[in-house]
């Protein structure tokens, strides 16, 4: 029996094949999330979105995970029900939300399609299109964050002790590949507004294909379980207990990583959502070129995150790497806000910063919690992260509206970018506190992950 287990779990071809399969699911997740970044002006023109309403649309993704704690609940469900059932449920929600969002932007819906009249009957300050797209964004966020937790647990299952940081680095690379593709393909498909429906529906269809890809993973996982005669039932020892969350919330190192996560990601993802419009206004770039410049960030992470992951597997220094990435992020945002420095090199450096922190942060979790609680730990962390991903896009849009009174031809983004810089400073502080805790309590965060 043990020989069968070794044959399946330790097969490097199967491991890397599974990484590619679930990496595709992650890529289409990020593609859909970022597909609207280069469509901001078109959405404003087509549906009369204000900057604040666009920020609300971006933020609605995080509502189920922030206020309904679905990332936490999803992590608990994952630890209790397992990867297959949890993964299918939440990837399905992700696909359903993507289709609903695309439907809200479609000509069929605008011409009196199902739900248009009911959406028009309340909150007249918001267009029926916005309300339907918000509902779709809600369901997409409901599924998307827990699906990322599922992918994380899949990697822990298959790669723990076997290049886990490299696997997480490649996982991040797959996500950034989706962002890179969205920033380059979405504005081309939109074609200045003529193909807006095509751009949105293309993104939704990709998410549906991702659901099919996860179903393929389920078949592989079932076959593996049959071969090693594993049971899907959870033993008494492995059942979720409320003390699991209490233990996490009283773990100082976990708290500092979670706070770093929320500040760091809130300084990057909302920035990416506004970046194409920021570049168009500050540097006079076209939508297509603005999207291409923004895509330098995910392009850099695709290249550097796996390399940093390999370094962390072999050398360690995870806490030090997180500090370096946070400091780089802070300097870049200050430079964007206060200088006319061209964006090309800055976006590449931002991509490097966005490689350093995730490559070190996510795999370090195996040093802090038991594997049977890893879903809960990641879920709670994603829920805390989503608090920032909900609030800061709205705040960024509000600052942009308040500091640009009237219909200005060119928007001043300086105050909005300084908001992201302040988050970078907080991330640097939390990463410093994490390193202090690592030294004080000998947690082993800075040690190589492959060390037995």
Which of the two residues, 194 and 99, has the higher pLDDT score? 99
Distance, CA of 148 to CA of 28 (rounded, Å): 11
Distance, CA of 303 to CA of 356 (rounded, Å): 11
Q: Average the pLDDT over 318-329 and give the result.
A: 95
Distance, CA of 259 to CA of 368 (rounded, Å): 15
Distance, CA of 307 to CA of 265 (rounded, Å): 20
CATH label of the domain that carries residue 383: 1.20.1250.20
The percentage of residues in the chain with a pLDDT greater than 90, rounded to a whole number, is 42
Predicted confidence (pLDDT) at residue 198 exceeds the cutoff of 90: yes
124-145 pLDDT per residue, tens:
888 899 999 999 999 999 999 8
- Domain membership flag for residue 451: no
Q: What is the pLDDT, as a whole number, of residue 142?
A: 92
Q: What is the pLDDT, as a whole number, of residue 232?
A: 42
Predicted confidence (pLDDT) at residue 228 exceeds the cutoff of 70: no
What is the domain count for the chain?
1
Q: Average the pLDDT over 344-367 and give the result.
A: 90
Q: What is the pLDDT, as a whole number, of residue 179?
A: 87
Q: What is the pLDDT, as a whole number, of residue 7?
A: 57
Residue 193 is classified by DSSP as G
Which has the minimum average pLDDT: 124-138, 152-166, 318-332, 355-369?
152-166
If one counts every other C-beta atom within 10 angstroms of the C-beta of residue 282, the result is: 18
- Domain membership flag for residue 325: yes
- Cβ atoms of 178 and 30 within 8 Å: the answer is yes
- Among 183, 184, 189, CA closest to 202: 189
Q: Is the pTM of this model over 0.85?
A: no
Phi, psi values for residue 32, rounded to 5°: -65, -40
- Domain membership flag for residue 154: yes
- Among 21, 25, 155, 33, CA closest to 90: 25
- Domain membership flag for residue 452: no
- Domain membership flag for residue 59: yes
286-304 pLDDT per residue, tens:
878 988 898 888 888 888 9
- Among 152, 143, 151, 137, CA closest to 70: 143
Cα R_g (the chain), whole angstroms: 21
What average pLDDT does the structure give for the chain? 86
- Cβ atoms of 186 and 298 within 8 Å: the answer is no
Distance, CA of 199 to CA of 187 (rounded, Å): 7
Q: What is the pLDDT, as a whole number, of residue 297?
A: 87
Listed as own residue / partner, the contacts of 443-446 with beta carbons closer than 8 Å and 24 or more positions apart are 443/253, 443/367, 443/368, 444/367, 445/253, 445/318, 445/319, 445/364, 445/367, 445/368, 446/316, 446/317, 446/318, 446/319, 446/320
- Domain membership flag for residue 5: no
- Domain membership flag for residue 16: yes
82-127 pLDDT per residue, tens:
889 999 999 999 999 999 999 998 988 988 889 989 988 888 888 8
- Domain membership flag for residue 1: no
Using CA atoms, how far residue 187 sits from 165, 255, 266, 277, in Å, is 33, 39, 24, 12
CA angle 323, 329, 331 (to 5 degrees): 105
Q: What is the pLDDT, as a whole number, of residue 10?
A: 65
SS (H, E, C) 227-272: HCCCCCCCCHHHCCCHHHHHHHHCCHHHHHHHHHHHHHHHCCHHHH
234 pLDDT band, cuts 50/70/90, is very low
Which has the minimum average pLDDT: 88-102, 184-198, 369-383, 407-421?
369-383
Task: Give the structural domain span for 83.
Answer: 10-230+239-441
390-411 pLDDT per residue, tens:
899 989 989 998 998 766 667 8
């Amino acid at each position: 029996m043990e020989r069968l287990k070794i044959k399946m779990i330790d097969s490097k071809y199967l491991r890397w094949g599974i990484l590619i399969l679930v990496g595709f699911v992650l890529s289409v997740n990020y593609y859909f999330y970022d597909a609207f970044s280069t469509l901001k002006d078109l959405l404003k023109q087509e549906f009369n979105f204000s900057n604040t309403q666009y920020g609300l649309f971006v933020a609605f993704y995080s509502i189920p995970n922030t206020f309904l704690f679905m990332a936490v609940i999803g992590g608990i469900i994952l630890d209790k029900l397992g990867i297959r059932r949890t993964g299918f449920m939440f990837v399905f929600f992700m696909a359903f939300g993507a289709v609903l969002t695309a439907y809200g932007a479609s000509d069929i819906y605008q011409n009196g399609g199902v739900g248009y009249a009911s959406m028009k009957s309340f909150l007249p300050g918001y267009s029926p299109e916005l309300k339907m797209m918000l509902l779709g964004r809600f369901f997409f966020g409901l599924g998307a964050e827990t699906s990322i937790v599922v992918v994380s647990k899949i990697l822990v299952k298959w790669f723990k002790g076997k290049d886990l940081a490299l696997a997480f680095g490649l996982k991040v690379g797959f996500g950034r590949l989706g962002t890179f593709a969205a920033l380059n393909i979405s504005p081309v498909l939109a074609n200045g507004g003529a193909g807006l429906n095509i751009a949105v529906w293309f993104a939704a269809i990709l998410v549906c294909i991702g659901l099919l890809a996860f179903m393929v993973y389920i078949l592989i996982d079932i076959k593996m379980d049959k071969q090693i005669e594993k049971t899907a039932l959870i033993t008494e020892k492995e059942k979720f207990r409320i003390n699991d969350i209490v233990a996490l919330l009283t773990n100082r190192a976990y708290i500092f990583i979670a706070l770093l996560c929320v500040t760091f990601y809130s300084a990057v993802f909302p920035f990416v959502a506004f970046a194409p419009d920021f570049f168009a206004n500050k540097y006079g770039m076209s939508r297509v070129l603005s999207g291409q410049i923004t895509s330098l960030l995910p392009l850099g992470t695709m290249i550097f995150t796996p390399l940093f992951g390999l370094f962390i597997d072999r050398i360690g220094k995870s806490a030090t790497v997180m500090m370096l990435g946070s400091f780089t992020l802070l300097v870049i945002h200050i430079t964007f806000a206060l200088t006319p420095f061209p964006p090309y090199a800055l976006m590449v450096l931002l991509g490097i910063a966005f490689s350093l922190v995730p490559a070190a942060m996510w795999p370090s979790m195996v040093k802090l919690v038991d594997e049977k609680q890893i879903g809960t730990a990641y879920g709670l962390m994603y829920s805390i992260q989503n608090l920032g991903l909900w609030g800061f896009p709205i705040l960024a849009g509000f600052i942009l509206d308040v500091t640009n009174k009237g219909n200005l031809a060119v928007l001043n983004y300086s105050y909005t970018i300084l908001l992201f810089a302040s988050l970078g400073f907080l991330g640097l502080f939390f990463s410093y506190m994490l390193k202090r805790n690592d030294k004080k309590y000998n947690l082993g965060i800075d040690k190589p992950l492959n060390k037995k």
